[in-house]
Amino acid sequence: MDSLTQIVLGAAVGEAVLGKKVGNRAMLWGAIAGTIPDLDTFARLLTDTITATEMHRGFSHSIIFSVLMAPLLGWLVHRIKKRPDVGWKGWSTLFFWGLFTHPLLDAFTTWGTQLFWPFDVRLAFNTIFVIDPLYTVPFLVCLVIAAFKKKGTFSRKRINNLGMYLSSGYMVITLLLKWGAHTKITEALEEQNITYSKMSTRPAPMNTILWNANVDAGDTYLIGDYSFFDSQPVTFTAYPKKREASQQLAVTDEVQRLINISEGWYILEQENEQWIYNDLRFGLISIDPENPQFVFRYVLEEKEGVITATEDRPEMGSISVVLKALWGRVMGN
């Protein structure tokens, strides 16, 4: 999830663990704990794009990291604050839950997380977009109200718990919404007599009403979407895989690593005499309705026998146009 959401979650967890004893400082240290796992993004400053992408949400988002770092961070804060009523164990408990709930939340996103690192298992339930106001805003409001309540009072505990209950309840609802959207899209494929080997569904940006689907239909990928407000059948757009044209490049070590990252959902194509690697998991962005682009794409270049990848994010242009198109589709076809 986005940084603000992780800060809110960490602060609420910190309050739940130590708020009765240390008040708003528990929120502060909880927010810090909730931010720490995402420091792995700084790997991009130290290594190449492919390696940094492999590292993202890896070790720092694992159970092992939480178990190892919590006592260390707890000891450091204990040495700084010197609170006998809290002690090393109290601070360590706060940091463990602040660190551990971060990857638990990330597991519900499309990118997922390697919670069981070093095992090559990525949890990605694909039920919530990385930015979702319906999850974050009520949670944030409850946290801010709790921060102005007197330390140790029942009303402070109740409003902080309410924020956690609302956010957790919404997460459960996203599972049900995914099931409903997945069912509707599956029915559409059957009604249209489309043969496919696998399908992946995920929510569109900033909502859980509109859902996108990637469908592996042999030589092509079919991409479609479904809104719970739709009145027309689900339609799919075909995107050729172009495997033969890219076969020589696809077998290289660097591209194979990208394929592993994208879990096989990719299109490798030439564009303006450059090879572009499209990661299909994050869908399309309709900046130009006539020429939508995949959100995650990499420009590949070969230098001295080594292939380098550079992120090539689409030019956003007017964000209002993108949001207007998104809202229009959310409201149904």
Same domain, 209 and 324: yes
Both 111 and 11 in a single domain?
A: yes
Total-model pTM: 0.94
Same domain for 14 and 121, yes or no, is yes
Per-position pLDDT tens, the chain of length 333: 999 999 999 999 999 999 999 999 999 999 999 999 999 999 888 899 999 999 999 999 999 999 999 999 999 999 998 899 999 999 999 999 999 999 999 999 999 999 999 998 889 999 999 999 999 999 999 999 999 999 999 999 999 999 999 999 999 999 999 999 999 999 999 999 999 999 999 999 999 999 999 999 999 999 999 999 999 999 999 999 999 999 999 999 999 999 999 999 999 999 888 999 999 999 887 666 667 789 899 999 988 888 999 998 776 666 787 888 899 999 999
Cα 55 to the center of its chain, rounded Å: 15
The domain total for the chain is: 2
Structure tokens at 173: 């609802």
Residue 140 belongs to some domain of the structure:
no
94 lies in the same domain as 215: no
Domain span at 35 = 3-125
Question: Which pLDDT score is estimated for 316?
Answer: 63
The predicted pLDDT at position 8 comes to: 98
Do 228 and 321 belong to one domain?
Answer: yes
Residue 301: what pLDDT? 94
Structural domain ending residue among the three candidates 125, 148, 173: 125
* Nearest-angstrom CA–CA distance, 188 and 233: 7
Indicate whether 287 and 204 sit together in one domain.
yes
Count CB atoms within 10 A of the CB of residue 114: 25
Token code pair at residue 295: 């959100």
Q: Is residue 185 part of a domain?
A: no
What is the reported pLDDT for 289?
Answer: 62
Task: Give the CA angle between residues 15, 18, 20 to the nearest 5°.
Answer: 85
Give a yes or no: residue 136 inside a domain: no
Among 125, 149, 178, where does a domain finish?
125
Of 216, 303, 210, 310, residue with least CA distance to 267: 216
Single-letter residue type at 136: T
Would 165 be classed as within a structural domain?
A: no
Cα-Cα-Cα-Cα dihedral of 243, 262, 329, 219, to 10°?
Answer: 20
Q: Which of residues 76, 101, 125 is at a domain's end?
A: 125
